[in-house]
Chains A and B, each alone.
Chain A
């Protein structure tokens, strides 16, 4: 590792430490939060859809968490990203360093939380008399990489733009809520009426959730949706980087 990369690694580590400290006060709590939050949601949806509405989905708890965990990673990163530069204004105004490392650290940290939630998925597999699959070994890293790129790209776009249009934060929250119900997290994509089925591919999150769920529940890699997810990953990371490049030199002026 050369000195420059080493320095970037150091910056990201320090920023992650800082974030854990500021957001959760300490590391263990951070982990409990990141696992407990989607589990609480899973409980709510289980009661609402399985117990009350009696949705026809097998192994519904497992089904829910395999969709909720990846969703949670995306949603946490994105809802924090409008404030990520604003919250670090003192650093940005005083010091010249690669500012894109701040959202990078944010998304990276949420990814770590997601990785640590995978044992919980394994636990539920055991409960349903299943085992983790060998395909996880290569499926998980590829998907992590794709989703990281997409989320980081989105985070760059939102965090940079929000400095100039400060109401973007509210728009982000509303859009996230809408996106959640358009994404097959609490229902399977097979329940979407045939006429709308092709629209699923237009929602990047839907593609990711489908691939994650196939992989985590059945150990099956859905190559079709995986390639679309990869495409979204590359497109958004490029878009995000250009947006950031175009706007970043004005950051200190508007903060």
Chain B
């Protein structure tokens, strides 16, 4: 496929259950044989044989119950996780994973967090400072921008996070449940911005429990059930069957 931008083929992902972490090095050394056995045997399978393809410019939704593996898929796309088997191919500049809660450094001010995130994402410091004012304007957080973000409310954090990312000119945008917070005004602004991105041909991957949002913005949807693919197809169709199942 020429125009595919993200490609998962037969991806398996499991996490070892890191028991030894709680015990520490001391415990591990004193119970060495047991420790090694645990390290090898106890695994938690998060994704089982997942294959799909996201095309350039598509808005792709991922739905499923809690713990079905949705966030693991995003982590794999972001490149912070690696599959145990199979391959994940991502062709393009990925935005940082955008999700609820403190996604930034709590002691730094809003302004400093913008710079940190922008530079880590691949922009130069000069590019970030060029966009700084625009980002602050969009977030509507002028009064708080020089406060450490640990005093921010979750809505304010979401605003800041979203504002940074949409101004960083990503080719792939990853969004984990972020649209659920913020007042409806800001939500509308976000969705309008996402539409703008779609028109510009940015690929968007959204994880959400809000089926209205998924229906509204997604071209295609992947439904994960028990760590495996249940269905994949056009947005409204998948959402309907998912809602039927939940009832």
Contact = CB atoms under 8 A, between A and B. Distances in A.
**Category for how many chain B residues contact A:** 35 or more
A254 interface: yes
Given A93-B80, A95-B96, A254 B116 contact: no
A249 B82 contact: yes
A93 B97 contact: yes
A252 B24 contact: no
Interface in B91-121: 94, 96-99, 102-105, 107-108, 112, 115-117, 119-121
**By DSSP majority rule, is chain B's interface helix, strand, loop, or mixed?**
mixed
B107 A21 contact: yes
Contacts of A168: 24-25
Interface in A142-186: 164-168, 171
B124 A18 contact: no
Contacts, number: 88
Interface string B7-47: 00000000110101110111010000000000000000000
A164 B21 contact: yes
Interface in A7-52: 7, 10-11, 13-15, 17-18, 21-22
B124 A14 contact: no
Contacts of B122: 7, 97
Interface residues of A, number: 31
Interface in B46-60: none
Chain B CB within 10 Å, residue with most, of A22, A165, A166, A168: A165
B182 interface: no
A90 B20 contact: no
Given A95-B97, A254-B21, A18 B80 contact: no
Given A90-B104, A94-B80, A95-B78, A11 B24 contact: no
A22 B125 contact: no
Contacts of B105: 18, 22, 88, 90-91
Interface of B: 15-16, 18, 20-22, 24-26, 28, 75, 78-82, 94, 96-99, 102-105, 107-108, 112, 115-117, 119-122, 124-125
Interface of A: 6-7, 10-11, 13-15, 17-18, 21-22, 88, 90-97, 164-168, 171, 249, 251-254
